[in-house]
Structure 1
Amino acid sequence: MESVATDFREVMAGVCTPVSVVTAMDGARPHGTTVSAFASLSMTPPMVLVSLDRRSDLLAVLQRSRRFGVNILSHGQADTAVQFARKGPDKFDGVSWHGSAGLPRLHGTAGWLACDLVELVDGGDHVVAYGGISEAVRSLIAPLTYHARTFGTHAAAEVTLR
């Protein structure tokens, strides 16, 4: 089983994923964490899913508040991704943000989604949060991605039609 887990980790390192910071409010205090397991779930109704570690402080906040924001990081926000990936209460130190739909919205992102929690689903050592979209804002800034344990961004492939 250990071999499969190691092989799985290596396969997943080869999958390009978007990098987002999921945020929520605990009273007047903002919380956030970096996630790479984020995806569109449904167009009707508009929904996304995010995967949160069971030990995440943010998960406990989300369970109480029942709302969360998804800040889709832009290609220049790798430092922000690292800052929100660490543990501790000071993740918002030095980060430019404002409230949007009652949730912490980071400045300079490639996109923003305000979500109402629809359901929490067990997923091994993580919990998958389904969120119904109440606000969506797109930017034309290129997104930050994670591939082969490094940050990067998307580049369009040249396609030759025959």
Structure 2
Amino acid sequence: MPARSTRTPERFGLDRLATPIGIALLVTDSDGALRALDWDDYEPRMRELLRLHHGAVELVDRPAPAAMKTALSAYFEGDLGQLMRIDWRIAGTPFQQKVWTALATIPAGTTMSYGALAAKIEMPRAIRAVGHANGSNPISVVLPCHRLIGADGSLVKYGGGLERKRWLLRHEGVEV
């Protein structure tokens, strides 16, 4: 019989924020850094990503920092630069972290193909791996996985649903 882990579950706060595209779930650590942002209708997926990236996790109701909620609300009201004001932390493999950090450099109002992002991180043959890492991004919107599109310009997968992806891109001024 395998030994059970005695590691204490990581404890994160869980808050909710109403947005024009649904209720956002905000998961923060004890320092107030964003660890996950997902949608209430995708909560099981978010919990699974947290488990994969952190191991055992306990979510407790705790307000997210006011500045974070203000910045997110401002983004949804049209001040797109507010996302850069949000403190975030990621866990995951070094490759995933490289992809997610690169996502944060894609400016609002622009898109990039998976292949272009693979080239940007100096791994041009890792297009599918970039796609998989993008799909495991725990911090939707803030690490803008919605800005990645197919090589032909088509909208492809988004963990929060293609309608949300379409809305986010239009909100940022991208015609889709």
Q: What TM-score comes out, normalization by structure 1 length?
A: 0.28
Q: What TM-score comes out, normalization by structure 2 length?
A: 0.26
Higher helix share: 2
Q: Which has the higher contact order (CA 8 A, sep 6+)?
A: 1
